[in-house]
């Protein structure tokens, strides 16, 4: 008998994975570093996903790596859960960034170790990884545009001037558990201080070999923009400049969907 992962067009069972660092490491390089402010971001995002009707958020896993108090998040999951979604909240300490790498190393460490501990993961086939402070209202729309369950859906992009090259968004990606274990698990050890310094570089490096393969999507079929505040700049993604960038991106997605490569 075929497994749920290999059966033809199985109905995916999604696990929304919110990564969280309430108290950033001193060398994380983020301006939105106030733990109280960040906790409020996570609380607002959790409330949003608890009310999100799409199957992409049918089950929620929160992974936090700074050892912070998670009782407020636990209370929201218990008392503000109108759709009675299963929610798992795990503390997986380990936000010390090794020399020569950046926050992406600890992000992948959190995923590797947290997913291995999760009970909800055992009940699901796919994960939707989101930066836990952000929401993505168009996520369900993007998944519904695909012809079948994706092995991978991630947004790759060409970098604008003065940067060169390509990377992939680390804020949101979707993949099967099989893909994660085969491709992403343990990949943090490939990070270095030169060509794979950032998490965005690492993800692009790992997924680009799958370009053009059935079930692997290296561009979202629609704009899936974040709502919330940038961790590095602590600026809203709904700023006038952000709105302009989204409009240009949406235009290019229609007239030149492969312009990035």
Q: What local confidence, expressed as pLDDT, does residue 256 receive? A: 66
Is 40 contained in some domain? yes
Domain count, the chain: 1
Which H or E run includes 206?
helix 199-207
138 vs 132: CA distance, rounded Å: 16
Q: Are 128 and 220 in contact (CB under 8 A)?
A: no
Is 139 contained in some domain? yes
Q: Are 147 and 57 in contact (CB under 8 A)?
A: no
Q: What is the pLDDT of residues 181-191, one digit of tens each?
A: 999 999 999 99
pLDDT band at residue 195 using 50, 70 and 90 as cut-offs:
confident
CATH of residue 129's domain is: 3.90.550.10
**pTM for this entry:** 0.89
56 vs 216: CA distance, rounded Å: 17
122 vs 177: CA distance, rounded Å: 9
Q: What local confidence, expressed as pLDDT, does residue 250 receive? A: 66
pLDDT band at residue 253 using 50, 70 and 90 as cut-offs:
low
Q: What is the pLDDT of residues 77-96, one digit of tens each?
A: 999 999 999 999 999 998 88
In which region does residue 74 sit, left (phi positive, over 0), alpha (psi from -120 to 50) or beta (all else)? alpha
Going by the DSSP 8-state scheme, the letter that residue 97 receives in this structure is: P
Q: Is 70 a residue whose pLDDT tops 50?
A: yes
137 or 253: whose pLDDT is higher?
Answer: 137
Q: Is 73 a residue whose pLDDT tops 70?
A: yes
What value does the mean pLDDT take over residues 100-110? 90
Which long-range CB contacts under 8 A does 36-45 form with residues at least 24 apart?
38/133, 39/68, 39/72, 39/73, 41/132, 41/133, 41/134, 41/228, 41/229, 42/18, 42/73, 42/132, 42/133, 43/72, 43/73, 43/76, 44/228, 45/18, 45/130, 45/132, 45/133, 45/134, 45/135, 45/228
Going by the DSSP 8-state scheme, the letter that residue 192 receives in this structure is: -
The mean of the pLDDT values for the chain is 89
Is 140 contained in some domain? yes
Is 147 contained in some domain? yes
Structure token digits, residue 118:
């999760």
Is 144 contained in some domain? yes
Structure token digits, residue 141:
């729309």
Q: Are 51 and 82 in contact (CB under 8 A)?
A: yes
pLDDT band at residue 261 using 50, 70 and 90 as cut-offs:
very low
96 or 23: whose pLDDT is higher?
Answer: 23
Q: Which residues sit opposite 157 in a β-bridge?
A: 167
Q: Are 87 and 62 in contact (CB under 8 A)?
A: yes
pLDDT band at residue 65 using 50, 70 and 90 as cut-offs:
very high
1 or 111: whose pLDDT is higher?
Answer: 111
Q: What is the pLDDT of residues 226-249, one digit of tens each?
A: 999 988 777 887 766 666 666 666
Q: What percentage of the chain exceeds 90 in pLDDT?
A: 70
Is 1 contained in some domain? no
Burial class (CB in 10 A: 0-12, 13-18, 19+), 195: exposed
**Residue 247 domain boundaries:** 14-255
Q: What is the pLDDT of residues 114-150, one digit of tens each?
A: 999 999 999 999 999 999 999 999 999 999 999 999 9
Is 35 contained in some domain? yes
Is 5 contained in some domain? no
């Amino acid at each position: 008998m075929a497994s749920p992962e290999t059966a033809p067009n199985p109905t995916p069972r999604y696990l929304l994975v919110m990564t969280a660092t309430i108290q950033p490491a001193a060398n994380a390089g983020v301006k939105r570093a106030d733990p109280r402010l960040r906790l409020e971001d996570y609380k607002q995002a959790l409330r949003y996903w608890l009310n999100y009707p799409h199957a992409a958020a049918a089950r929620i896993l929160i992974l936090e790596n700074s050892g912070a108090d998670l009782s407020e998040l636990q209370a929201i999951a218990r008392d503000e859960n109108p759709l009675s979604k299963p929610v798992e909240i795990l503390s997986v300490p380990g936000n010390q960034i090794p020399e020569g790498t950046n926050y992406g190393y600890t992000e992948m460490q959190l995923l590797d170790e947290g997913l291995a501990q999760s009970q909800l993961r055992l009940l699901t086939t796919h994960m939707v990884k989101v930066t836990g402070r952000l929401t993505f209202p168009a996520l369900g729309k993007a998944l519904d545009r695909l012809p079948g369950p994706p092995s991978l859906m991630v947004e790759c992009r060409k970098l604008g001037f003065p940067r060169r090259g390509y990377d992939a968004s680390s804020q949101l990606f979707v993949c099967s558990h099989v893909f994660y274990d085969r491709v992403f698990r343990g990949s943090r050890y490939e990070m270095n201080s030169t060509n794979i310094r950032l998490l965005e570089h690492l993800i692009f490096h790992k997924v680009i070999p799958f370009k053009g393969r059935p079930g692997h999507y290296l561009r979202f079929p629609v704009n899936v923009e974040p709502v919330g505040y940038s961790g590095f700049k602590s600026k809203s993604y709904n700023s006038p400049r952000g709105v302009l960038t989204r409009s240009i991106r949406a235009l290019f997605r229609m007239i030149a969907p492969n312009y990035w490569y």
